[in-house]
Structure 1
Amino acid sequence: MPTILYFSSHAPHPWDLCAQLTPFVEPVGPNEGFLDLTGCGPLERLWSRLEKELGPLRWGMAGNKMVARIAYQCGNKKVPEGSEGAFLAPLSLDYLPFPPGVIRELRNLGLFTIGQLAAVPLRDLERQLGPLGRELFQAARGIDQSKVQAAYPPPRIICRRSWDFLPAHRRELEGRLLALAQELGEKLVASKQRCGRLRARSDDQLLEIVLTPPVDEASSLQRAVFYRLLPRLRPGFSLELRALDLTPRQREQLDLFQARPELDPVIERLQTRWGPRGLRWAAELELPRRARCLRQFQCHLFAP
């Protein structure tokens, strides 16, 4: 049986301990989140260690995330496998993870408890609420297919280099820093991530900057380190750049429609007939004034 724990603790940093117990740790707040303890050993031993090192816990335990969180809201409840429906039946619809407008619409239909919702046939819910009806039908029966994510420690990308000698002049330090930023930017592109915070370490010196908006390409990263890190960076034998606060990169057109090589001969024939300027790539088009002003403003964000 899956064993999902949702808990909160007054301990300042509970997640390092949790990551020692299970690889599936999903924080939803500073000291509140999900653990998937399935297959991690005797539950009594895990529980005693949590209470010993974190102190008193408020918790809820069940076979899936939704029911575990509702059990937490009800106050230290453990819901055995197969009894999810019976546990949820007397509870108010407010416990379900749906927007207030949906709950209000259900009340307008005369439904006030999860048990009353569970008694409504699926076809009636779908006829009244569309695709949302199936989600409500499953939630009222304690069915939740979502998994606990392995979200701690948070992902990061690191580039590090060391040398046997200090840079002879500032230009050499600049070259080292920009080369490392180029390498880090290429890793960001390959992993389709954006960096919201950048940390630099040169021997014992530690610098950190926030990137607004988040950066997802090497050129933007190089501008950020050139204007905001290089003026404060001291020469050292080692240099490290660490990309933090990673988020998925925004979708681009080529993510949906890949370039078609078979169109290249057609483009060449058109350019031959109408001249090299008769057909231009979008990247070559002149930006309108508003877009140029916006780009200039964004460049100023990288200023020290």
Structure 2
Amino acid sequence: MDAFYASVEQRDHPACRGRPVIVGADPHGGRGRGVVSAASYEARTFGIHSALPISQAYRRCPEGVFLPVRMSHYQAVSAQIFQIFGRYTDLVEPLSLDEAFLDVTGSLRLFGSAEAIGRRIQAEILTETELRASVGIATNKFVAKVASDLRKPNGFVVVPPGQAAHFLQPLPIERLWGVGPKTAGRLRQMGLMTIGELAARPQLELAAALGPLGAHLWDLAQGIDVREVIPEEPAQSVGAETTFPEDTADPVRIRQTVLALSEGVARRLRVEAIQAGALTLKLRDETFQTQTRSVSLSEPTDQSQDIYRTALMLLERLPFSGRKVRLLGVTASRLSDLMGSGQQLSLEINPAGAKQRRLTEAVDRIHARFGKGAIRPASLLASS
């Protein structure tokens, strides 16, 4: 995905489109601590990038739009995108929330060429999430990754079989996995500026200079990468947590935060079509003491109100009276597939549950189209 967190914020907040958006810590007028988590392409023209201290980002672009990280929301959007991947192959290896390797070898008969599949995935992501993605297609993971990064945003690069070395030849050595500033400096001392120049050297020479890394870099420079796409194991839990900007003992704010976390977790469950059979609440107080409480649910759920009520019950069981709260987290576990959970039978027996689910589905459709902030519980409005 292209500038994922920042692009989600620009999608959800139309007033931010075309403006420099910086997602991360609160800059506090240039005195803030913390770092940039993501920067829109407009912000990058000011030299702002991820991991840059937020104070420097503010000094470089004080007119930018600085927004907090909404991790549970990005996770829910990511789940939508990975569902699209799953339509075309089961061989999906996540690199992060917004990036993955797909092996579509076994899907070519069903969907056509790898390029056709890539075009369909890119189009479906845009249609269903209003976000742009860049696609790289090659015969191995390394070359596909380089290709996907080459023409962002909204890029589409195909490296035909047998053309990997030629494709890599003019690119700077920093494009090779494993080449950081220190290794790049050593390679430049050897007179190597491009991947093609490195590929032209004998492998033994590079191995003598850099050890096993040198031999590995030579392989990559030839376009050789034998690693397979390894699908991720199914998630064992879905969670969200947040650290307060300042420790708080305000019970209203604490409950509002538990509600917001519960909403985020429940939405991810629904997006992934799974339900939770257990819930854990995590609390870290001002002394950095961390406590957790867990409970098994009477029946699996993906409903926000069920998770919120249970999380509040767990909160009441935590002995933190008199101490301020620094961090809260809500985690759903013992996950089960919705299709095999008996949910439909439960809804037929319980009309009230069916009504609640229809309401929830309507809210999810609004969120998907207009963003997470389009409709919210009234109790959260005061904290906006």
Q: TM-score, normalised by structure 1?
A: 0.50
Matches of 1:152 and 1:53, distance apart in 2: 25
Matches of 1:80 and 1:211, distance apart in 2: 52
Deviation at 1:38, TM superposition (A): 1.1
Letter of the 1:61 partner, please give it: I
Matches of 1:132 and 1:211, distance apart in 2: 43
Secondary structure of 1:97's partner? coil
Contact kept in structure 2, 1:15 and 1:152, CA below 8 Å:
no
Partner of 2:175: 95
Q: Mapping of 1:175-254 within 5 angstroms?
A: 201=277, 207-209=279-281, 228-230=293-295, 236=298, 238=299, 242-243=333-334
1:151 aligns with 2:242: no
CA RMSD of aligned residues (A): 3.2
Letter of the 1:208 partner, please give it: T
> Residue 39 of structure 1 is aligned with which of 97, 103, 106?
106
Matches of 2:161 and 2:177, distance apart in 1: 20
Deviation at 1:100, TM superposition (A): 2.4
Partner of 1:86: 166
Deviation at 1:229, TM superposition (A): 2.7
> Residue 30 of structure 1 is aligned with which of 97, 110, 116?
97
Deviation readout 1:275-304 (Å, 9 max, x if unpaired): xxxxxxxxxxxxxxxxxxxxxxxxxxxxxx
1:63 aligns with 2:139: yes
Contact kept in structure 1, 2:94 and 2:231, CA below 8 Å:
no
Give the direction of change, closer, same or farther, for the CA distance of 1:35–1:132 in structure 2 (3 Å limit). Answer: same
Contact kept in structure 2, 1:61 and 1:79, CA below 8 Å:
yes
Q: Which of these two proteins has the greater Rg computed from alpha carbons?
A: 1
Partner of 2:148: 72
Letter of the 2:183 partner, please give it: V
Matches of 2:202 and 2:88, distance apart in 1: 41
Matches of 2:164 and 2:280, distance apart in 1: 47
Secondary structure of 1:57's partner? coil
Matches of 2:189 and 2:236, distance apart in 1: 45
Q: Mind listing any 5+ residue stretches in structure 2 that lack a counterpart?
A: 9-76, 127-131, 238-274, 285-290, 302-331, 336-384
Contact kept in structure 1, 2:122 and 2:134, CA below 8 Å:
no
Contact kept in structure 1, 2:118 and 2:135, CA below 8 Å:
no
Partner of 1:134: 215
Q: TM-score, normalised by structure 2?
A: 0.40
Deviation at 1:62, TM superposition (A): 0.5
Structure with greater contact order relative to length (CA < 8 Å, sep ≥ 6): 1
Deviation at 1:48, TM superposition (A): 4.7
Deviation at 1:27, TM superposition (A): 1.9
Contact kept in structure 1, 2:89 and 2:107, CA below 8 Å:
yes
Contact kept in structure 1, 2:93 and 2:232, CA below 8 Å:
yes
Q: What count of residue pairs does the alignment treat as equivalent?
A: 176
Deviation at 1:155, TM superposition (A): 5.1
Give the direction of change, closer, same or farther, for the CA distance of 1:209–1:79 in structure 2 (3 Å limit). Answer: same
Letter of the 2:226 partner, please give it: Q
Contact kept in structure 1, 2:206 and 2:214, CA below 8 Å:
yes
Deviation at 1:152, TM superposition (A): 6.3
Matches of 2:104 and 2:163, distance apart in 1: 19
Matches of 2:205 and 2:116, distance apart in 1: 46
Give the direction of change, closer, same or farther, for the CA distance of 1:83–1:210 in structure 2 (3 Å limit). Answer: farther
Secondary structure of 2:161's partner? coil
Partner of 1:288: none
Give the direction of change, closer, same or farther, for the CA distance of 1:134–1:209 in structure 2 (3 Å limit). Answer: same
Q: Mind listing any 5+ residue stretches in structure 1 that lack a counterpart?
A: 1-6, 157-198, 213-223, 245-304
Secondary structure of 1:208's partner? strand
Matches of 1:239 and 1:18, distance apart in 2: 26
Matches of 2:300 and 2:106, distance apart in 1: 41
Secondary structure of 1:72's partner? helix
Matches of 1:131 and 1:68, distance apart in 2: 23
Contact kept in structure 1, 2:207 and 2:214, CA below 8 Å:
yes
Deviation readout 1:14-59 (Å, 9 max, x if unpaired): 0012112111112222222211111212136534532342114311
Secondary structure of 1:105's partner? helix
Contact kept in structure 1, 2:279 and 2:333, CA below 8 Å:
no
Letter of the 1:90 partner, please give it: P
Give the direction of change, closer, same or farther, for the CA distance of 1:28–1:144 in structure 2 (3 Å limit). Answer: same
